[in-house]
Structure 1
Amino acid sequence: MTWRGREHIEACLDALSAQDRPHRTLVVDNASDDGTAELLHGVEVLRLNKNVGYAGGIAAALPRVRTEFVAWLNDDAEPEPGWLEALESALDASPRAAAASSVLLTPNGAVQSTGVRLTHDGHGADIDRETEEVFGFCGGAVLLRTRVLRAIGGVPASFFCYYEDTDTAWRLRLDGHEIVPAPSARALHLHGVSTQPGSRSFHLWNERNRLLMLLRCAPTGTALRQLAKFAALTFVLPLRRSRPDALNFSVRLRLRVLGEVLVRLPRTRRFADSARRREVWARWAGHTS
């Protein structure tokens, strides 16, 4: 997946070429306008006529996948040799697992993510240490069973960017599947090169998609409480003498989030039965070990 990835796409493709497992590489070019297209030689390319985001790009590519497994990989990620083998081995060793999570490293070698945990209020948060259990995976580098991904409804393309991975993890678990960490599957990740963490768009996508994910997947009471909590804080903020400077406390942005969530609410699909949603929430929300 790439968008304006001219500065780093070649390093990503070189790292994929160094993998020792047979694989097919499909680059989804999200209407790049920086010359990225001219660098994509010798690989299959799906060029989109507009930028549909990371989630939309994966959704567009999925119908073309004919292999047992499908990997998602950011264009700013460089998997180490043996990365793909480690992910495939993790799934081969765990028949009930539908996804294997990579270890993502910062440029200075620190662990950025070994997987994703679910917080007590329904956020997806990166785990920055080795663990035997993960709720979900970071979508920057992950391997999934193609058949299972299709069976749970694929990728939420309308999310555009952010939380498409945690939403997918939710639906996998609601369908009875497991997600496993693969400690030997390591990849350097520049993180946020295209999306600029902290920007207005970043906060819009994060806040909106978290609420949509909960409405899709979490217990009804939990989802409605989080929506009500977000709305209440939004309407109280103008009455405060001071408030945090972070853009996610911008009243205008929060009102837009609420508007987009409410517009999409009638089309928001619910997965699994209420008992199963409560079971997954009770097992994973706030779980840190």
Structure 2
Amino acid sequence: MPCIIVITHNNADTLRKALESLVNSELVDEIVVVDNNSIDNSQSIIREFIIKYPFVKGLFLKRNVGFAAGVNVGFRACESAEPYFALFNPDAIATRDWLKKLVEFMDKNGDVGMAQSLLIKPNGEYDSAGGFINGLGYPIEFRPKVNYELLRRVKPYEVGYAKGAAVLIRREAYLQVGGFDNRFFFYYDETDLSYRMRKAGWRIYVVPSSLVFHIGLGSRIPNKELFVLYYLERNHLLFLNKNIKTRLIPALTWSLIGALHEHDGARLKIRVRAIYDAIKLMLGHLVSDPINLN
């Protein structure tokens, strides 16, 4: 059965319920939790599950390497990643058959590289029903106008990218494209992987009958608004340079104009830093992650 990889960083508020939902899911017999040096109660919760469930494994990293690198670490630790492995967020709640539905679909469709669950917020709104990557390199989410209970009856449909909160990935496809790019650290990691898979000829689907509730709180991060702004700005440019080079110069110009029109000094500073670091990464230099906002 597929190995499930969970990446954590200060997710104690939601982690216990996420893991409880996973251990009670069908087909689950291996869970690898990669902790990115949490300083809250996350590591204690993980150790509780390791003691209680022999099929739960914990990897405790000495520094925060981000989501992309964390998945690559977890993948190497999986014993049952053939033919698939799954990603699951620590702020999500699985329904019992979420994984079974994804596996059944992938078993019947050998050209599918990734299959995503239907992600619903606790209030019943859509978190992700799939999406596409537009010509400027931005991921655009579908926002269906029907109740998700109706959408669950729809057959699986093809999309442009999969969200990593609950997704099944074909090992062959993952290895063919080189796995996640560690440079993305946070945001655009799954967008980049999806783009490369589709370019390599693999297809990506949403399986609406596979339902997962996504709380969406994420990690506890100081100055989270600026943190998110930095990585969205930086990694969008990095994504374009890597995958859609013809759009890089217009996007870089637009980013500079947008930064210079910021009236908030902190936002101006972080956007300029993001552009600078994106260029460094494009040139093959290293940058320090996670960004220090102090």
Structure 2: which 5+ runs fail to align? 1-6, 51-55, 145-150, 286-294
Cα contact 2:237–2:252 (8 A) shared by 1? yes
Q: Report matched runs for 1:29-178 at 5 Å.
A: 29-40=35-46, 41-42=49-50, 43-66=56-79, 67=81, 68-129=83-144, 132-178=157-203
Please say if 1:206 is aligned against 2:232.
yes
Q: Is 94-103 or 192-201 further displaced after alignment?
A: 192-201
How far apart in 1 are the matches of 2:108 and 2:143? 24
Specify the alignment match of 1:26 in structure 2: 32
Query: Given the superposition, is the C-alpha separation of residues 127 and 23 from structure 1 closer, same or farther in structure 2, using an over 3 Å criterion?
Result: farther
Corresponding pairs, count: 259
Q: Pick closer, same or farther for the CA change 1:96–1:213 going to 2, 3 Å.
A: same
How many angstroms apart in 1 are the aligned matches of 2:91 and 2:23? 15
Distance 1:34 1:194 in 2: 10
Shift of 1:56: 2.3
What is the deviation of 1:193? 3.0
Q: Secondary structure at the match of 1:226?
A: helix
Aligned 8 A contact 1:90 1:180 in 2: no
- Choose the corresponding residue for 2:282, options 259, 265, 275: 265
Which residue is equivalent to 2:269?
Answer: 252
Query: Separation in 2 of the partners of 1:228 and 1:88?
Result: 43
Distance 1:223 1:22 in 2: 42
Superposed CA deviations along residues 25-67 of structure 1, whole A, max 9, x for unmatched, are 0011111111221222232001100112222211221222342
Secondary structure of 1:223's aligned partner: helix
TM-superposition CA deviations, 1:158-188 (whole Å, max 9, x none): 2111110111101101111100111111111
TM-score (norm. length: structure 1): 0.83
| Further displaced range: 24-33 or 123-132 | 123-132
Within 2, Cα distance between the matches of 1:194 and 1:118? 25
Kept in 2: contact 1:114–1:137 (CA 8 A): no
The percentage of counterpart residues that share the same residue type is 26
**Corresponding residue of 2:21:** 15
SS for the counterpart of 1:7 is: helix
Q: Hey, what does 1:183 align to over in structure 2?
A: 208
